[in-house]
Amino acid sequence: MLTQPATATPHDQPEKKINRHPRRTTDEGLLLIILAIISGLIPPVGIILPGLIMWRNQRSNSLYHTIFVICIIVICVSLLGTYVIISDNWLHPSSTTVYTVH
């Protein structure tokens, strides 16, 4: 008598795991916006750090275009603030007069 080979059922095979999100990364859009705004408080840092933030920004972030707009605004404001500091201290130093009150 000839026996037939046992057929494999779907339950006998190991399950294959499917990667449903191959490009899924953590959304760091809000963190980058907060970092860009805080960097604007210190004018020289506000020129360099938003450039690094724009380099770090990815299309997968929820606020992709907003981050670029905020970084450009922070850079402009920081350039103005840095110019005021440099101008006031080194380019056109002003004299300070102290009056005594009697």
Does residue 39 surpass a pLDDT of 90? yes
How high is the mean pLDDT of the chain? Answer: 83
What was the pLDDT predicted at 90? Answer: 86
Domain map of the chain by residue range? 29-91
Q: What is the pLDDT of residues 4-30, one digit of tens each?
A: 655 656 566 666 776 565 555 577 889
The amino acid at residue 91 is: L
Residues 50/39, Cβ–Cβ less than 8 Å: yes
Residues 28/61, Cβ–Cβ less than 8 Å: yes
